[in-house]
Amino acid sequence: MRIIYLACLLMTLSLLGCEGQRQQEQVLQPVAFHSGDECHVCGMAITRFPGPKGEALGGQPQGVKKFCSAAEMLSWYRQPENRQANFSLYVHDMGKSEWDMPDDAHLTDAKVAFYVPAPTLHGAMGMPLASFADRQAAQAFATQQNTQVLTLEQAGDFLEQQQHAGHHGHH
C-alpha cells in the first residue's frame, strides 16, 4: 500500500513539474499600441513619437509593459531582474513599417531581431534604434544610416556606451 501511495505521489509531482515547465515556455503574442499607452520606464505617451516601439509580456504578475522605443525596452530588459523573468519581447519590424507610424501588424520577436542605430532620425529619447526581423533589410538600413547591424546583446552594449558617453558630455 505504501509503495502505491509513493508511486502516486511521484507521478503527481512529476506532472506538476511538467505543467510548470509548460508555463515557463509559453510565448505570449504581441498586443497593439493605443493612444493612451504610457511608457513603462519614463511615462511618456508612446504613440506621440516616431520610430519602433517595444513591449514585454509576461513576468509576475503576468501583464504587458509597453515602451516608447525599442531602445527604452532593451535598456529596461538588461536589468538582471527583468532578464530572469522570462518575458516575451516584441519590437516593430521597420522593414515593413513606416518610421513615423509603425504598424502593430508587424511586431517581431525582439530577442532574435536585428538593431540599427539611426542617428539621422528622430525617436522618443536618445539615439533611436531601428529594429528589423530580416538581416538584409537591417543591413540596407545600416548602409543608409552609415552605421552597423547589431544583435540584441550588441544593441544593449551600444546603449550602455551611449548612456555612459552622455554622462560625460560626449555624443
Tens digits of pLDDT across the chain (171 residues) = 555 444 444 454 454 454 444 445 567 899 999 999 999 999 999 999 999 999 999 977 779 999 999 999 999 999 999 988 889 999 999 999 999 999 999 999 999 999 999 999 999 988 899 999 999 999 999 999 999 999 999 999 999 998 877 644 433
Residue 51 CA to residue 69 CA, distance in Å, equals 7
Query: Which pLDDT score is estimated for 152?
Result: 96
Residue 134: all three cell numbers together: 530580416
At residue 126, the pLDDT reads: 82
Residue 41: count of CB within 10 angstroms of its CB: 16
∠ at Cα 44 (42, 47), nearest 5°? 135
Cell numbers for 2, please give them. Answer: 505504501
Number of neighbouring beta carbons within 10 Å of residue 115? 29
The CA-CA-CA angle for residues 95, 125, 166, to 5°, reads: 115
Gyration radius (Cα) of the chain, Å: 20
**Kind plus residue range of the DSSP H or E element containing 115:** strand 114-117
Structural contact between residues 91 and 123, judged by C-beta atoms closer than 8 angstroms: no
Task: Write down the pLDDT at residue 22.
Answer: 43
Q: How many CB atoms lie within 10 A of CB 74?
A: 26
- Please state, as a whole number, how many other Cβ atoms lie within 10 Å of the Cβ of residue 79: 10
